[in-house]
Amino acid sequence: MRLADAHTLEKDLLTTSAEPEADHRLIEQLAGWCDRYTPWVAVDPLGAALADPDAALICSAGGFGGDAGLLLDVTGCGHLYGEGEAGERALMADLVQRLSRHDFACRAAMADTAGAAWALARYVETQAGLFCPPNHQREALAALPVDGLRLDPGTLETFLKLGLRRIGDLYSIPRAPLSRRFGDLPLTRLDQALGRKDEPIEPRRPPPAFRSRISFVEPIGRAEDIAAATERLLDTLCRQLEQASLGARQLELALYRVDGSVGRTAIGTSRPNRHAPKLMKLFGERLGGLDPGFGVELMILSAPEVEEWTGAQDSLPDTDTPTRSSWNEDGTLDLADRLALRLGAENVVRLAPHDSHLPHRVQVAVSFTTPVPEGAWARLASMKGPRPIRLLQRPEEIKVTAMMPDEPPRQFQWRRHAHRLVRIEGPERLADEWWHPRPRGKTMPANIVPPVRDYYRVEDDDGGRFWLFRDGMRNNVKWYLHGFCA
């Protein structure tokens, strides 16, 4: 129906433009909020596909706006609310009640399969029908219209023409003619809804293997309370990790605020860790940036990334007694973790030697977790030639005065200061590494002379020592300052 027609029919019609993007954002936010019930939350893929205007219409019902859906796999989550089936009912009631508190009108249904729950939530008429007891989806679905099977409008129309109005009508039809007439989809959907065929739910975020949660009767807001709660969560989680003999590489803390929003923060460690005080120190950096808003009613700590535990046994004290034996055993790596968390990992580096005879390629900054082999530097230091004590990240061009173009310089000008040279050592000729492929994957043509640099160590009349080089040959000579000598 066109908007003009709608206006003719209903004078007081209120219209706003559709905002599928905003709808999608909202549903993502809601999905994040649903993490409080289970880590296994997915946005209904059909709804998401429909939010994209270019996507082919693959389903009659569902979609964006009022018809969007979320799928929650709550297997094993009901026990937080009560025993067995009662717990699952309580969970569902809690979900609906909390959502309505935030002014969301919603219908939630629970069944053994995602397909059945999808159909029940949309087409069941009684309140009691929303909860389908285990293994009863066949009876529960029989009376629902075929629209509940998540099929395209064309198929549904044909179903109606053939008099197949209810899902139950399909039960008695032989499968072979049905699939010949309509393709595989209707049968697949039916099997998925009845649990005869698996339907994987793709969670929004990979569910963590380890998590601990703490919920508060009264919302908390003070920073100390949040820190204390974090400490308790860490204790629980670290005990879980200890039992599994694993260590966390990444931890995520989620704060569920009373207004329905979720604040998250994450920390990473450079090696598997399960030492609660150390992890707490890392969180200490981050907690300050978390806004409790009007109060926090639930906190969940999860470990999305875990690794085999490699450290010492937990019973040994490892923080109070300083050991100065090796890089890994002392507190340095924990320190580096903390610094990297605040300054960014690219700003905390170690220097590793690189096999090259070009002085500026010899040292590379590597991540602080990379081990630098023992004695690697000692081998390099035995290499010939004077080297600077500081190396400019990029050589700076200087103006040079020399008697003859090929002669060593007598004076150079750098940053508006002239340096008259009295002592010179050199040249040390270094050619480019022609045996390495060029950046574009080409080796150099044989007839071109590879760029060579003539390095000089020079001293000016004030005693300042510099490291210069001449680049290029006869006609096109350029001089650069590349470092400072001690």
Based on the shown chain and the rule CB under 8 A, indicate whether residue 422 belongs to the binding site for other proteins: yes
Bridge-based pairing of strands 417-431 and 411-414 is antiparallel
Q: Which of 11, 180, 416, 417 binds other proteins (CB under 8 A)?
A: 417
- Residue with tokens 């204790």, as numbered in its chain: 235
- What is the Cα Rg of the chain in Å? 34
Burial of 273 (0-12, 13-18, 19+ CB in 10 A): buried
- In the complex, the smallest distance separating the C-beta of residue 478 from other proteins, rounded to whole angstroms, is 17
Q: Can you tell me the distance from the alpha carbon of 241 to that of 279, in angstroms, rounded to the nearest whole number? A: 13
Based on the shown chain and the rule CB under 8 A, indicate whether residue 374 belongs to the binding site for other proteins: yes
Based on the shown chain and the rule CB under 8 A, indicate whether residue 219 belongs to the binding site for other proteins: no
Based on the shown chain and the rule CB under 8 A, indicate whether residue 419 belongs to the binding site for other proteins: yes
Shorter beta-carbon distance to other proteins: residue 300 or 421: 421
Based on the shown chain and the rule CB under 8 A, indicate whether residue 428 belongs to the binding site for other proteins: no
- In the complex, the smallest distance separating the C-beta of residue 350 from other proteins, rounded to whole angstroms, is 6
Grouping H, G, I as helix, E, B as strand and the rest as coil, residue 471 is strand
Based on the shown chain and the rule CB under 8 A, indicate whether residue 380 belongs to the binding site for other proteins: yes
Candidates 125-133, 149-157, 184-192, 421-429; binding stretch for other proteins (CB under 8 A) = 421-429
- In the complex, the smallest distance separating the C-beta of residue 460 from other proteins, rounded to whole angstroms, is 8
Across the strands, what pairs with 267?
A: 251
- In the complex, the smallest distance separating the C-beta of residue 379 from other proteins, rounded to whole angstroms, is 10
Binding mask 281-320 for other proteins (x = CB under 8 A): ----------------------------------------
Based on the shown chain and the rule CB under 8 A, indicate whether residue 378 belongs to the binding site for other proteins: yes
Positive or negative: CA dihedral 405, 407, 412, 418: negative
Nearest to 119 by CA among 73, 161, 61, 164: 61
The type of residue at 140 is A
Q: 315-344: which residues touch other proteins (CB under 8 A)?
A: 322-324, 327, 329-332, 334-336, 338-339, 342-343
Shorter beta-carbon distance to other proteins: residue 182 or 414: 414
Q: Can you tell me the distance from the alpha carbon of 125 to that of 147, in angstroms, rounded to the nearest whole number? A: 14
Shorter beta-carbon distance to other proteins: residue 344 or 441: 344
Based on the shown chain and the rule CB under 8 A, indicate whether residue 22 belongs to the binding site for other proteins: no
Based on the shown chain and the rule CB under 8 A, indicate whether residue 9 belongs to the binding site for other proteins: no
Grouping H, G, I as helix, E, B as strand and the rest as coil, residue 427 is strand
Task: Dump strand ranges (E) for 68-197.
Answer: 70-72
* Under 8 Å between Cβ of 122 and 71: no
- In the complex, the smallest distance separating the C-beta of residue 371 from other proteins, rounded to whole angstroms, is 9
* Under 8 Å between Cβ of 411 and 418: yes
In degrees and rounded to multiples of 5, residue 186 shows phi and psi of -60, -40
- In the complex, the smallest distance separating the C-beta of residue 471 from other proteins, rounded to whole angstroms, is 17
Q: Which of 66, 200, 439, 463 binds other proteins (CB under 8 A)?
A: 463
Shorter beta-carbon distance to other proteins: residue 89 or 465: 465
Based on the shown chain and the rule CB under 8 A, indicate whether residue 353 belongs to the binding site for other proteins: yes
Based on the shown chain and the rule CB under 8 A, indicate whether residue 32 belongs to the binding site for other proteins: no
Based on the shown chain and the rule CB under 8 A, indicate whether residue 465 belongs to the binding site for other proteins: yes
- In the complex, the smallest distance separating the C-beta of residue 414 from other proteins, rounded to whole angstroms, is 7
Based on the shown chain and the rule CB under 8 A, indicate whether residue 186 belongs to the binding site for other proteins: no
Based on the shown chain and the rule CB under 8 A, indicate whether residue 453 belongs to the binding site for other proteins: no
Based on the shown chain and the rule CB under 8 A, indicate whether residue 216 belongs to the binding site for other proteins: no
* Under 8 Å between Cβ of 70 and 44: yes
Shorter beta-carbon distance to other proteins: residue 188 or 363: 363
Based on the shown chain and the rule CB under 8 A, indicate whether residue 369 belongs to the binding site for other proteins: no
Candidates 196-204, 233-241, 248-256, 347-355; binding stretch for other proteins (CB under 8 A) = 347-355
Based on the shown chain and the rule CB under 8 A, indicate whether residue 244 belongs to the binding site for other proteins: no
Q: Can you tell me the distance from the alpha carbon of 409 to that of 468, in angstroms, rounded to the nearest whole number? A: 10
Bridge-based pairing of strands 363-367 and 411-414 is unpaired
> What is the distance, to the nearest Å, from the Cα of residue 277 to the centroid of all Cα atoms in its chain?
25
Grouping H, G, I as helix, E, B as strand and the rest as coil, residue 481 is strand
Cis, bond preceding 353 (omega within 30 deg of 0): no
Based on the shown chain and the rule CB under 8 A, indicate whether residue 407 belongs to the binding site for other proteins: yes
DSSP label of 87: H
* Under 8 Å between Cβ of 105 and 116: no
Task: Dump strand ranges (E) for 182-281.
Answer: 210-220, 246-257, 262-273
Shorter beta-carbon distance to other proteins: residue 373 or 445: 373
